[in-house]
Structure 1
Amino acid sequence: MSGRRIVKQRRRADVGIIGGGLAGLSLAYYLSQFHDLKILVIDDGMPKPDHIWGFWDNGSPHLALAREQALSQWWHWQVAAPGNAHVMRGEGYHYYAVSSASYMKALADKCARANVRFINGTVMKTSINEDYTRMLMKDEQIVTAHHVFDTVNYIAPYDCMKQHFLGQHIRVNKNSFNPGQIMLMDFRVPQQDGIHFMYLLPFSEKKAFIESTVFSQTQLEPEWYREQIAQYINRSLHLKNEQVTVLKEEVGVLPMSKVKSKQGEGCIPFGVAANAMRASSSYAFAQINRQAYDYARAETLLWGVPEAGADFFERWMDDVMLDVLTKNPELAPHLFSRMAQKVPADDFARFMNGRSGFVPKFRTINAMPAGPFLKTIVGI
């Protein structure tokens, strides 16, 4: 028997996408809608836990599917700090929430109907060969594509601030929630372990999603978040443990930083790898959808790196905000409640979504306490 290495069958495509998460499937879907291309998505098949994804929208085309899949929508959102609670009332913008599992299934179904092909596997190495990129799979299969996007390989600074959280879907035994208004950030909780707030989405008077969220460098033990949620429910909703049923939980940690793409030769970074995520908030759902839609709808595809989730000035503002929060975490409740008071709801939503225009940026800057921000800007 010959010792010659056998190369497994090649598969060819116009576009190869590494990663079948939100960025990969969004890009595949929108490319299939605007262009006649052979598209191949390569994913390792690892389970993707169900999460709540929240976003603001005013009817934009890149979020049409998300609106169809929304669990609910709200016109009012509240930010609360000790001694100060303010309700923001959206006019053009509403806040939506989707189940990541349901949304991804809907997106995958649309991709399949558009003849997007899928491979279950892991890309180990890429290389450029003439006018295409060669992808070597873990099982030694060879996949080639004229253009390859990498949505999974990136790194964040190890010591950056992180947003870490544990959320619970709960049912209570009496009417306790206002289904017309969310609690976006409630800072009336202990702050000793980082910038800590509660996030609450009411789906009915008896069912809600509640999340304990912390901005800090170190993730905490799951039981810590559970205890914070239990105390909050008892204190704010006046409910005892036996009156609350936890239906399921979700947990996560997200970097609050610019990331550095780590893609291989011949790959174009996309999604979080191309800085779709807002560093100051870790918001990425709407930003990834817009990045994919805007990239795909171009009449002539240039095959370059896509636009980030925020423009240059907003990214600078994010850097300044993160520096202030890192040096002065005790200011966070005042800072966010001040934004809620001084920035109109729709401009607040525009700024959080990114690429917001002059007026939302100006109003957001005007709402910031001058002293700490000026110290950061001038490097004091």
Structure 2
Amino acid sequence: MTDTGPATESRTTSPDTATPGTPGTSPVWYARPAAREWTCSPAPAEVRAFHATLPAYAPTPLTELPSLAAELGVGRVFVKDESARLGLPAFKALGASWAVDRVLAERTSDTPVELVTATDGNHGRAVARIARQLGQQAHVFVSQAVHPGAAASIEGEGAWVTRVAGDYDQAVREAAAAARAEDSVLVQDTAWEGYEEVPARIVEGYSTLFAEVDEQLAAAGVGGPDLVAVPVGVGSLAQAAVTHYRSRGTRGPALLAVEPTEAAPGLASLVRGESVTVAAGETVMAGLNCGTLSGLAWPVLRDGLDAAVAVPDAEALAAGRELGALGVSSGPCGAAALAGARAALTGAGARERRAELGLGAGATVVLLSTEGTAANPHGSV
């Protein structure tokens, strides 16, 4: 990876002083325009070929929504609809399937293996589904914030579910401890020192989503996006976005990270210039309710993200309802991308934020709607 040096421009609004969601005020915001000069290595080319071999694989829709383009003051808006990915209502199976395939391929024993993970919902269900399809067992740890309906969906895949009296970070710690048993493998989408190989595979798996976007935009007569809005939990999908767009050797699109105001470790870390843990509160964006970024994601996001913003639950829920009315099933986590784009491109201070993102009136915006309403029982609240 190549670092082109410190940012030449940046602007931050402190999470301690800003009031997101208040009419007439600027959102909690971070920007680093120099990020578009940073480069890195691409994901392995064989990931897309692997996914194409899966019986349930098909590219998910990229839906153009002209009414949103008019609202946001840009040329075109496309929503990547992940509400039906490999038979599940979220994108997570892309990463889990590739990681599990690599884990099993590298094992020297043919004995069954227990796949262990922690989840706020969608990742755990993806691991459970893949384990069932491959004749393996899954043990999934869920935090206390996980809706009973989401836990029941994981159990419905045949997984053993352990409910943790704590937050997502506590669930990860307990899953990691349980995975130390013989014939158990931790399949976690967050990394820390000493545990990096499997999370790296999960990030690689997400590269298929962006390869699809490239092909779908080309079919729509668009050379590429000018802005991509990515919901962020532990940061693995955002890491995949940065890897994809910063590995081309040309100046790519602006990349906007979107988090809940109640759980925004990415924004806090970018503002501080170092990875920090925040106390995650309650949020309907359950899949984004994380207090710590993945150790692998942090340096990539620090160097390759253009901007970050935090949005309140009410705005994510409203965005989900509006996307639904436009024909895109989107739970609060997925709809966070639209809420974040609105926070960035409209309202007080929008002219300055648009300038930092390098967006003109003819820009193409891609919103990653990472889950459908079926993935999150809060989606209809």
- When the two structures are superposed, what TM-score results if normalisation uses the length of structure 2? 0.28
Query: Which has a greater percent of helix?
Result: 2
Greater gyration radius: 1
Query: Which has a greater percent of strand?
Result: 1
